[in-house]
Amino acid sequence: MSAEYETSKQPSGSAACPPGWYQDPTGQGDARYWNGASWTESVNRGGVTLNAGIDPSQAPVPPVPGTQVSIPPPPSTVQKDSDSSSRSFLGVILGVGVVFLIGILMYAIISNNSDGDDTPSPGSTPTEPAPEEPASDDPAEGG
């Protein structure tokens, strides 16, 4: 939305309200920031400043005089109200899940190789014991 459009929507003859925090006319927060020409997406809810959309038809309607409130910080330090925290949480959950699966696979491999059973596993070649020396029938040797 251009500044020309925003300022052209202000009623003529009304005193321009200075930029600042005013009671939120949309009810989405305790206060909303007025930039001097229109409402911004900066909303303060319970002391936390975040971004919340506003109906474009309501954006240029100036605040009611006397409804200004004092809430820091200015909108330049506003936090975005996005799902980035839920994405971070999802990433942590996925990471833990991958580590857990790797641990299970390693346990299965190790326990399969060291189960103490001498039966050959499928696909392996069994080892045969070394042949014994035949007893000699020669009486001269046995003597």
Instruction: Rank 18-27, 65-74, 94-103, 111-120 by mean pLDDT and report only the highest.
Output: 94-103
Q: Where are the domains of the chain?
A: 3-77, 83-113
Q: Could you tell me the two tokens for 34? A: 């007025």
Nearest to 49 by CA among 82, 29, 78, 85: 78
- List pLDDT tens digits, range 9-48: 444 434 678 898 999 988 888 899 999 889 999 899 888 8
List residues bridging with 107 in a β-sheet. Answer: none
Q: Could you tell me the two tokens for 54? A: 């506003």
Range 24-31 contact pairs with CB under 8 angstroms and sequence separation of 24 or more? 25/58, 25/61, 25/63, 25/64, 26/52, 26/54, 26/55, 26/58, 28/52, 28/54, 30/69, 30/71, 31/69, 31/71
Confirm whether pTM is higher than 0.85.
no
